Amino acid sequence: MLDELDINAFLTRKNIGDIVDELIITSGSSKDYEFIKAIFFLDELLEIISENTIDIHQHLIWYKRYSEQKLCFISDSETEVIHQVLSSSETSDSIVAKLKYYPELIKSMGLNDVESSTWVSCLVEWIRHQIKKNISIHKSFHDDIGTVYDIQFNGQSKRLVLLADGFVINFFAKQEKGVKTEYIDPIVTMQLLGLVKLATTEKGIEPGVYPMAQRFKTDDIDLFWKALDDKSRPIEFGVAESRNE
């Protein structure tokens, strides 16, 4: 299952030259089960770097988790101090009390002449600003491809493509809620066979979207289902012949 640690590893790996570092992942389930943690995490980051009003309590929960997991978004000279402040602080008062142990951080955040009652909200906004300096994300949906995240992280261009939205398996998940999971494997197999058929053409495959209906003919589908019928026929329980030893 793809999660925030995988996204973190993807963002922190070095690009090759000026080439966009691209990660393309295909879901094997009918409900994007493998993607759900990563999608929630990326949605969190989109919320953080947006201009929306901050939910201080929610942001503190996120920042504490990022800090505990040592994610790259809080990665500067104050990393360890931020971790110490967030890790053992359960209330606003405890955060303020902990901050007082780190005068350099207070100075860095510009809080020397600010009422301590506002320190927590200032801390949340400051962390948010640090994250926004490191990363930008543009999320887009493509019916024929999937969900694409174009990301800039510390000057490097990244692209994460989650192949699901335009896949047949997702069509069933969205339109036919009662679909049986045993249909999924044959459908995915047909998609892969279509890719194999495409890959066996004489010319190299140019980047783009290729409608399989133009290449995957009725005879191919009939042959595929015949093979499934031959190899996956239910067991026929008949009367066993008696044997004399």
Q: What is the pLDDT of residue 199?
A: 66
Q: What is the pLDDT of residue 53?
A: 78
Q: How many domains does the chain have?
A: 2
Q: Which domain holds residue 8?
A: 4-137
Assess whether 12 and 90 both reside in one domain.
Answer: yes
Assess whether 116 and 209 both reside in one domain.
Answer: no
Assess whether 24 and 133 both reside in one domain.
Answer: yes
- What is the spatial distance between Cα 136 and Cα 89, in angstroms, rounded to a whole number? 29
Assess whether 44 and 123 both reside in one domain.
Answer: yes
Q: What is the pLDDT of residue 47?
A: 92
Q: What is the pLDDT of residue 18?
A: 85
Place of tokens 């690009």: 15
Q: What is the pLDDT of residue 32?
A: 65
Q: What is the pLDDT of residue 181?
A: 47
pLDDT (tens digit, 0 to 9) for every residue of the chain, 245 residues total?
788 899 999 998 988 888 899 988 877 655 567 788 888 999 999 999 987 877 888 888 888 888 888 887 665 667 778 888 888 777 888 888 888 888 888 888 888 888 888 889 998 888 898 888 889 999 988 765 678 899 999 889 999 988 754 344 444 444 443 444 445 566 666 667 666 666 666 666 676 776 766 766 778 778 777 776 776 655 444 444 433 43
Whether 56 is in a domain gets the answer yes
Assess whether 109 and 190 both reside in one domain.
Answer: no
CB burial readout 169-187, b (16+ within 10 A) else e: bbebbeeeeeeeeeebeeb
Assess whether 13 and 125 both reside in one domain.
Answer: yes
Assess whether 45 and 132 both reside in one domain.
Answer: yes
Assess whether 81 and 201 both reside in one domain.
Answer: no
Beta carbons within 8 Å of 104's beta carbon, 6+ residues apart: 81
Place of tokens 């301590």: 116
